[in-house]
Structure 1
């Protein structure tokens, strides 16, 4: 029964995520928001909703490893999704076709935020205020900074949707609600399946549940690539990662036994460092000059995928 619920929820998440991307594109066409803005803050935030439920549930059952591992693992898996599609669509030279200035501030901020988390996990007893780690306050400041600094340049968008802006917003919100409910079900059943297999909490949070809750990102990126909305795809992944780290702040607020990063195992630092290496390769792909040779172009994506599977094997 658990497996049936898991796969049913997965199918619903996939269908809802397709609609999320569709109506996000309507908002992109009918409003003054750029593809980077829509992807980073609207789609990125909406597709992160399952992660919030997962981590708050983990806090409730007093399992900080799953709570933290879910967020860090989701960020790693999100970058894996982006780079996998970049590899599949390597003939398109996706990173050569987007405006790097619209995405570099978000990618750089994500890198700095992850560095802070690595230090906090290794310190094991970082300073805190009101039982919330000081690094969490810094995450909020960095997020507010990038929101203000994100480049929102005019883009030439072909308007081909028959929906109005109001219809696009309403249906986007409804799709986000379905993603939240189905994604939460996916998380709960995935956790139950994981317990039956006897895998450790850090691995479950960082890889199994993280992969499950990243299904909305997988589908939205696929749909965006198929529509050649590459800025929307990259923005949704980078934005989702930033949003996940803000959800980690919420998780720390609810975990009142102390700074949550001080209560997690060191294996979560390995996940965070893997994330750092993968974000670094993404930043490199964003700002390198245009490359005609397909093999050379594919290197960052290929290295990202190799790193992910090596780390997965080591943690397992």
Structure 2
């Protein structure tokens, strides 16, 4: 019970910290004359992925490697099947041309990249499957390419379309909230990792299962909240762009950083999650072209949600 309470407290501290950090950093950047588009592509995008990053950094330092991979894969599967499922049931999601032909395929490429870097036994006849530090550095290089792509898109677009709301804090208040936000992230991340490991041990669950379910869903709450609020306001570009961008961040940045800290040994069971992640990305790409126009319809959202429930059932059956 204590571990469950600490886990909930960790999620509250983590999400509060990410929210305060984004608001304060955006306000400070605005005062320093940094363009809105750069704020959106860096500070805000990083803010929604900060929970996964902080949790994975602590898990890597503590050598909880199954939780590291489970959190990344679980978050990506939850993002596509649950968040886009819920969002498209609320309101059908129309997908932009760039998102269709560049960003969604890039997120699918990221999912496939995990399969390759984790498959040492099959590809290199190694004794064990390991995502090494060199693999992590390669993923980080892909992340740099993704950032450059985003900046090129931003330069070619109309900045007025990218206007983002920012808080108007004084310099002192902004610095205080940045420190408070970082403190919340660090405290929350630490609480989540230690309490999740305690829960896994108490209930006889593997770190992989805890990472794929409780931890990944909890750290994906900012993406869920952002997408649901956006789609209720009919801002469907934000809803789908937020999810696809987060999936790319999770693999190229978060998994990259995690494996640079501590190389990850990949269990045989994790390949089920890797394949399921690829399947979710492929299905997203296919669904865009079914029905009318480039759109995720309500019935496709229902299919996504049913698949996610089926995936949870599969995880439970494996324990």
The TM-score normalised by the length of structure 2 is 0.75
Q: Which residue of 2 aligns with 1:315?
A: 315
Q: Which residue of 2 aligns with 1:201?
A: 207
SS of equivalent to 1:47 = helix
Write the distance in 2 (CA, Å) between the matches of 1:137 and 1:126: 19
Write the distance in 2 (CA, Å) between the matches of 1:315 and 1:241: 21
Q: Establish whether residue 115 from structure 1 lines up as the match of residue 129 from structure 2.
A: no
Unaligned stretches of 5+ in structure 2? Answer: none
Unaligned stretches of 5+ in structure 1? Answer: none
Q: Which residue of 2 aligns with 1:248?
A: 255
* CA gap 1:214/1:196 in 2 versus in 1, 3 angstroms: same
Give the CA deviation at 1:31. 6.8
Q: Establish whether residue 274 from structure 1 lines up as the match of residue 276 from structure 2.
A: yes
Deviations 1:209-262 (A, max 9, x none): 21222222222223333444333332322222222222212222222xxx52xx
Task: Output aligned runs, 1:154-233, within 5 Å.
Answer: 154=158, 157=161, 163-164=167-168, 173=178, 177=182, 180-181=185-186, 183-184=188-189, 185-233=191-239
Deviations 1:42-65 (A, max 9, x none): 333222223233333333333321
Deviations 1:162-201 (A, max 9, x none): 8559889869856853662354133432332232111122
Write the distance in 2 (CA, Å) between the matches of 1:126 and 1:132: 14
Give the CA deviation at 1:297. 1.8
Q: Which residue of 2 aligns with 1:83?
A: 84
* CA gap 1:254/1:162 in 2 versus in 1, 3 angstroms: closer
- The answer to whether the 8 A contact 1:100-1:286 is kept is no
Write the distance in 2 (CA, Å) between the matches of 1:47 and 1:247: 12
Q: Which residue of 1 aligns with 2:47?
A: 46
- The answer to whether the 8 A contact 1:38-1:235 is kept is no
Write the distance in 1 (CA, Å) between the matches of 2:19 and 2:61: 31
**Length, aligned pairs only:** 300
* CA gap 1:19/1:59 in 2 versus in 1, 3 angstroms: closer
User: Over aligned residue pairs, what C-alpha RMSD do you find?
Assistant: 3.9
- The answer to whether the 8 A contact 1:72-1:271 is kept is yes
Write the distance in 2 (CA, Å) between the matches of 1:172 and 1:232: 25
SS of equivalent to 2:119 = helix
Give the CA deviation at 1:138. 3.5
* CA gap 1:140/1:5 in 2 versus in 1, 3 angstroms: closer
- The answer to whether the 8 A contact 1:14-1:219 is kept is no
Range with greater deviation from structure 2 (73-82 or 279-288): 279-288
The TM-score normalised by the length of structure 1 is 0.75
